[in-house]
Amino acid sequence: MLTWQDIDTVLLDMDGTLLDLAYDNHFWLEHIPEVYAKTHLLNLHQAKVRLHEAMSASQGTLAWYCIDHWTETLGFDVHEQVRKTAHKSSLRPWVFEFLNFLQAHNKHLLLVTNAHHVVLDSKLAHIDIAAYFDHIVSSHDFQAPKESQRFWRSFAQAHPFDPKRTVLIDDNETVLSAAKQFGIEQLITLRQPDSGLTAKTSTLHPSIHHFNELFDTANAATKSMSGKTCKMLM
Ligand SMILES: [Mg+2]
């Protein structure tokens, strides 16, 4: 699928790509409605309907990813809820092996996420992957989501890369389409971002189930055993 000698830069999304989206789906579809219902004395069904309406209205915008926005909109401290639950997030399979492979092959490696800093920092406090990356970038730093051309223009200015020698791996296909429009040629999506949901059978962009489809796993296993130790902290 990828010819690694033709790639210098690897851009990796976080939620649903490196980390299992099961945490985020549970957080937004179950946990937050429960807190919202308790705070505003609603039943759970009413809370879910109201939240669904509020979230649908802002999907794909930076506000949708903004914990300050949801704290203001929902009337309770969503930052606190993120900090209290982030230890439940977990890595998708083959992530350490894939990151070891990329590091061993000297790729310029960036984590590029729409996650708000409180989400990013809370998750990376429990999952020890930050050291693999040359840069960790939140789209909130550029005031534009990855779905927009404005983000890609600002990002490329801050972290120059050759779009022809770059791959973006992201579970969000709207983001991949925006990156394609910007000129990034190599795009890969994930068929099962949430381990609790059925894998997708069709995608707009080339797709993988797990990262082991992108490198020689027999080789990588030896390297990761003799390489530096990186483990889950939780
Ligand atoms: Mg994602």
Q: Are residues 183 and 163 in contact, defined by beta-carbon separation less than 8 angstroms?
A: yes
- Per-residue pLDDT tens, the chain, 234 aa: give them: 899 999 999 999 999 999 999 999 999 999 999 999 999 999 999 999 999 999 998 888 999 899 999 999 999 999 999 999 999 999 999 999 999 999 999 999 999 999 999 999 999 999 999 999 999 999 999 999 999 999 999 999 999 999 999 999 999 999 999 999 999 999 999 999 999 999 999 999 999 999 999 998 876 654 444 333 333 333
Q: From the CA of 36, how far away is ligand 1's center (Å)?
A: 24
Q: From the CA of 190, how far away is ligand 1's center (Å)?
A: 9
Q: Say what the pLDDT of residue 210 is.
A: 97
Q: Say what the pLDDT of residue 220 is.
A: 64
Q: From the CA of 175, how far away is ligand 1's center (Å)?
A: 9
Mention every residue, 6+ apart, whose C-beta is less than 8 A from residue 186: 2, 7, 166, 167, 168
Q: From the CA of 69, how far away is ligand 1's center (Å)?
A: 19
Is 6 catalytic? The answer is yes
Take residue 48 and report the two structure tokens written for it.
């879910």
CA angle at residue 153 from 70 to 123, to 5 degrees?
Answer: 40
Q: Say what the pLDDT of residue 230 is.
A: 35
